[in-house]
Amino acid sequence: MNSHEIDYHIFGEEMQYVEIELDPQEAVVAEAGSFMMMDTDLQMDTIFGDGSNQNKGVLGSLLSAGKRILTGEGLFMTSFLNISGNKRRVSFASPYPGKILAIDLSEKQGKFICQKDAFLCAAKGVSVGIEFSKRLGRGLFGGEGFIMQKLEGDGMAFVHAGGTLAKKELGPGEIIKVDTGCIVGFTKDVDYDVEFVGGIKNTLFGGEGLFFATLRGPGTVYVQSLPFSRLAKRVWASAPKGGGKDKGEGSILGGLGDILDGDNRF
């Protein structure tokens, strides 16, 4: 194997975390901010890119980091290396309520495509890059699903899905239509495109967006019920406005209450 062979266990229900067990000299790489806890004798190091091309010199590291910039991620990742002579553990937590999905890339023909913000951590040696779109419609209208990450290698990778996770096994030619933000990821043989919803009423009043993703089998598709963008919009819409004072959810006065109460700042 080119990637380190790691063991793991996923804990929790709504707010999960994954515990990675590392043998001596094994390492795992993770997105910044996902670290939860670790044993002693683990060497924590900030690396340029994903660490998969470090043996290719400075140019390999630059290419790895450049891919991350294109997907909207940071230049650096964090590596955790077991420098002891015994097994050690390190844990990484979900960023918001949902499920952690373990992907064995050796069972996925060495490649898995996922949303750009879904990646959590992986065995060192797994390459985290960008999946280029070859279709104009997908490139122009893909929205949340436009820029996809690809995970390549033969090790374990872990991605996060918001809310409830659905797994769909598609047969040859079988199609499923999904909100672009609800896609977690899919296997390499799945054909992915973006389709216009159509209809003037749907366009003006539907409230579900103008486009959805069409995924054609064969292959496996993972779908999430709560994309982070949807969660963030609901939180923002419910956040108190006007200096943080809340006149009560569902109040008839609404903004008028702010004016009557002397808070007329806009």
**The whole model's pTM is what?**
0.78
**Better-scored residue on pLDDT, 247 or 10:** 10
Residue 250 pLDDT more than 70?
A: no
- For the stretch 56-87, pLDDT in tens is 555 555 555 555 555 556 667 899 999 999 99
Q: Which CB contacts under 8 angstroms, 24+ apart, belong to 242-249?
A: 242/266
- Lookup: tokens for 105: 């890339």
- Tell me what the pLDDT averaged over the chain comes to: 79
Least confident interval from 64-73, 182-191, 241-250, 252-261: 252-261
Tell me which amino acid residue 118 is: A
Q: What pLDDT does residue 11 have? A: 96
Instruction: Kindly report the backbone phi and psi dihedral angles of residue 4, in degrees, each rounded to the nearest multiple of 5, phi listed first.
Output: -70, 140
Helices (H) and strands (E) in the chain, counts: 5, 19
Max mean pLDDT range (45-54, 132-141, 144-153, 161-170): 161-170
User: Would you state the pLDDT for residue 242?
Assistant: 61
Residue 35: which pLDDT band, with cuts at 50, 70 and 90?
A: very high
Give the CA dihedral 102, 107, 110, 111, nearest 10 degrees: -50
- pLDDT tens for 14-27 read 899 999 999 999 99
Closest alpha carbon to 81 in 123, 48, 120, 52: 123
pLDDT at 115: 87
Is the model more confident about 130 or about 90? 90
Strands annotated E in 67-180: 76-82, 88-93, 98-104, 111-115, 119-123, 127-131, 148-152, 156-162, 165-170, 175-178
pLDDT at 63: 59
Give whole-number Cα distances, 234 to 167, 228, 239, in Å: 25, 10, 9
* Structural domains of the chain, ranges and CATH numbers in brackets: 7-236 (3.60.160.10)
Q: Is the peptide bond before 218 cis (omega within 30 degrees of 0)?
A: yes
What would the pLDDT profile of 107-160 be if each residue is shown by its tens digit? 999 999 998 788 999 999 898 888 866 554 544 444 444 578 899 999 999 999
Percent of the chain residues topping a pLDDT of 70? 69
Q: Say what the pLDDT of residue 209 is.
A: 52
pLDDT (average), residues 87-97: 94
